Amino acid sequence: MKKIKVILRRIALILLIILGCFGIGIVGPVPLLPIKKKDDEEPAKIEMVDEKEEDDLNPF
């Protein structure tokens, strides 16, 4: 009876290891650290264009 329990435990352990490897093979490894954070990026520099009024277009 003890031998059967030991064999079943080893089979279960091997089965869990195989299932874990299969899942990692399909999905890929879990990312541990983000590659690049969006907060680290510099904000885009945007210049505001002033519209000219009608008085500025006519010098007279």
Q: Residue 28: how many CA atoms within 13 Å on its side-chain side?
A: 2
| DSSP conformational letter for 39 | G
pLDDT at position 44, please? 72
d(CA 22, CA 15): 10
Place of tokens 């059967």: 4
pLDDT at 10 exceeding the cut of 60: yes
d(CA 52, CA 9): 83
The 10s digit of each residue's pLDDT in 19-59 is 988 888 888 777 777 666 665 566 677 887 777 666 556 55
